Amino acid sequence: MSIHLGLCCLLHNNKELKFRTYTKARLERLSFEDARTNVHEVLTHNSQMLGRFFDFCRNNSIPSYRLSSDLIPHFEYITDRGLLTKEELDEYLSVFGSHDSSDICLSMHPGQHVAMGSNREEVIVNGAADLRLHVLIQDAIGFKEMNIHLGGAYGDKASAKARFIESTQEFKDYLTIENDELTYNIDDCLEVSESLGIPVTFDLHHHRCHQLKPEYTPRKSEREYFLLARQTWIDSGRDYQRIHISSPRLAEYTTASKSRPHHDYITPTDIPSWLLEESKEFPLHIDVEAKAKEKAIMQLNEDLDLHSVKNLV
């Protein structure tokens, strides 16, 4: 098998390895100099902490890591107020890039406030600004993988997809897109992928939730969708495929909305045997979206070993 499990952003209840932040409300209560000091204390901490996260992944045999999108919190606000100059930004980006991540497959996942198919121009403008910050960070470190959702339908899914395609042209070299639980299914993502020429990150949990919607009938099996998504990674020149997995908090799939919240761990039976088989053919990076974070990864590693013995040997 060529399965590489990925850590998403943070660790589980770890007080030693943790990124810091500040709020706009707090900064507004401070004098300019105190706000500036607060910003630079946080950014200095985060720029050094990133290297410790890389070391943690390396030391714990975690070959894939999703960087936090809050390495530079409220970027536009602090730059507009003059709390962070371009020269200072370049210095922090240089520190980000100085950490060794050569043996870790990196990605980022901007928040759902990035809605590039919105019917409001200001939302698209703000989303593009956020994506440009992610591009700066990725260029500094040396990778290109930025996964986002298609967003809302705004009463007209076809028009929203068209706006998404138009508004993301400048980010095509970095973007991947992901199917969601309620609005955009894997078919929608494959359609947008074909227009933009970008990879589709197949979220198996989201797909299973979406299937519970009475109005949605998948045209293909999970495995067939997985393989179609894989082809988008190959077509974009990648030498690996990324997917997301999670288990429902209630340990079973009931309705689309009730099944959405993530469990602390991954239920082993939620990993289909065909996924293990397909991992022999092409390297697979799996983001483990579980609340127990690294503990869930370690447990799943044990479970996959047991599963492979039972099913594949």
Model confidence at 59, pLDDT cuts 50, 70, 90, reads very high
Residues in contact with 187: Cβ distance below 8 Å, sequence separation at least 6, in sequence order: 218, 219
Model confidence at 15, pLDDT cuts 50, 70, 90, reads confident
Residues in contact with 96: Cβ distance below 8 Å, sequence separation at least 6, in sequence order: 47, 50, 71, 137, 140, 141
The HSE-up count of residue 299 (CA atoms within 13 Å, CB side) is 13
C-alpha span between 90 and 234 (Å, rounded): 33
Count the neighbouring beta carbons within 10 Å of the beta carbon of residue 249. Answer: 15
Q: How many Å from the N-terminal Cα to the C-terminal Cα in the chain?
A: 11
C-alpha span between 221 and 204 (Å, rounded): 11
Q: Which residues, listed in sequence order, are joined to residue 6 by a DSSP beta bridge? A: 64, 287
pLDDT in tens, 133-184: 999 999 999 999 999 999 999 999 999 999 999 999 999 999 999 999 999 9
Element (H, E) at 204: helix 204-210
Compute the radius of gyration of the chain from its Cα atoms.
20
DSSP-derived 3-state class of residue 205: helix
Share of the chain above pLDDT 70, in %: 97
Element (H, E) at 42: helix 32-59
Find, among 154, 57, 45, 163, the residue nearest to 100 by Cα: 57
267, 251 contact by CB (below 8 A): yes
Share of the chain above pLDDT 90, in %: 90
pLDDT at 312 over 50: no
pTM of the model: 0.93
Mean pLDDT value of segment 52-68: 97
C-alpha span between 204 and 214 (Å, rounded): 18
What is residue 256's predicted lDDT score, i.e. its pLDDT?
86
Identify residue 227 by its one-letter amino acid code: L
Model confidence at 1, pLDDT cuts 50, 70, 90, reads low
